[in-house]
Amino acid sequence: MGAQWKAKHKDLASNAKGRIFGKLAKEIMIAARNGADPNQNARLRLVVEQAKKASMPKETLDRAIKKGAGLLGDAVQFERVTYEGFAPHQVPLIVECLTDNVNRTIAEMRVLFRKGQLGSAGSVAWDFDHLGMIEASPATPGADPELAAIEAGAQDFEPGEEGATLFLTEPADLDLVGRALPSFGFTVLSAKMGYRPKNSVTLGAAELEEVEAFLAAIDAHDDVQDVYVGLAG
């Protein structure tokens, strides 16, 4: 499934856009804590670009920025928490959440993990690499991802979605590589820390369907931002 699991045909769900906007709004609010001006706040600028790419309404975008920067007087404090465990058939996964109520989120995660196994911190993280992940699209004809990866200092690269390339970096190099890629013909679409499985589990069709249903339920939770899974295919 690659570094990050994404639901199949997720864009067909009636509430998919709302979930996407909700996740982006949380990231915007957290980024805006360091300043409401995207020109002066690199992290905010990247998330704003993601929001625009997802067609987030301008009013929603502006409100998230102001709320995160404390300009509306009703700022919500989100905490980033990570859960580790197994989907059915011992498929390892890491779930990243942003929540304003950790106690509520862990209680709901325990319910969602009933068909799998919710582990303790470090129970599966050892089987994943923690990397910088930069999604970038070619800005000029003939832009070479391999050359760009080498010159910009990325550790590796792989094909992304819709013609984009996913550049993988050492954690400390995420910002440096992101700033260097435009010089080699690529426009950065998103940049974040993420998890890549070292080993992937291969399943038959019936088992895979069960795991997909489990992952879809996890991903649909309002507090879940990203799901990383060690699943082949």
- pLDDT over 70 (residue 202): yes
Please report, for residues 21, 44, 175, 186, 219, the alpha-carbon distance to residue 226 in angstroms, rounded to integers and kept in the order given: 14, 18, 20, 24, 7
Does residue 170 lie in a domain region? no
- Work out the average pLDDT over 145-156: 95
Does residue 163 lie in a domain region? no
Q: For residue range 15-46, what is the model confidence (pLDDT) as tens digits?
A: 677 888 888 999 999 989 888 998 888 888 88
**Which of 116 and 72 is assigned the larger pLDDT?**
116
Q: Supply the pLDDT for residue 10.
A: 47
What is the pTM for the complete model shown? 0.83
Q: Supply the pLDDT for residue 14.
A: 44
Q: H-helix or E-strand containing 195?
A: strand 186-197
C-alpha 45: how far from chain center: 16
Q: Model confidence at 12, in pLDDT bands (50, 70, 90)?
A: very low
Q: Supply the pLDDT for residue 8.
A: 54
Percent of the chain with pLDDT over 70: 92
Q: Supply the pLDDT for residue 160.
A: 82
Distance CA 175, CA 109 (A): 32
The H-assigned helical ranges of 58-204 are 58-68, 102-112, 145-152, 174-180
Does residue 209 lie in a domain region? no
The H-assigned helical ranges of 69-165 are 102-112, 145-152
The residues facing 226 across adjacent strands are 96
Distance CA 186, CA 146 (A): 12
Q: For residue range 56-102, what is the model confidence (pLDDT) as tens digits?
A: 999 999 999 999 888 887 666 888 999 999 999 999 999 999 999 99
Sheet with 165-169, strands from edge to edge, namely 156-159, 165-169, 128-138, 186-197
Of the candidates 135, 154, 157, 148, the residue with the CA atom closest to the CA atom of residue 185:
148
Does residue 38 lie in a domain region? yes
Q: Supply the pLDDT for residue 11.
A: 47
By residue range, what is the domain housing residue 33?
10-68
Q: How many CA atoms lie within 13 A of 120 on its CB side?
A: 0
Eight-class DSSP state of 1: -
The tally of domains found in the chain comes to 1
Domain of 21: which CATH number?
A: 1.10.10.200
- Work out the end-to-end distance of the chain between its first and last CA atoms, rounded to an integer number of angstroms: 5
Q: For residue range 174-188, what is the model confidence (pLDDT) as tens digits?
A: 889 988 999 999 998
Does residue 126 lie in a domain region? no
- pLDDT over 70 (residue 6): no
Q: Supply the pLDDT for residue 161.
A: 80
Q: Model confidence at 7, in pLDDT bands (50, 70, 90)?
A: low
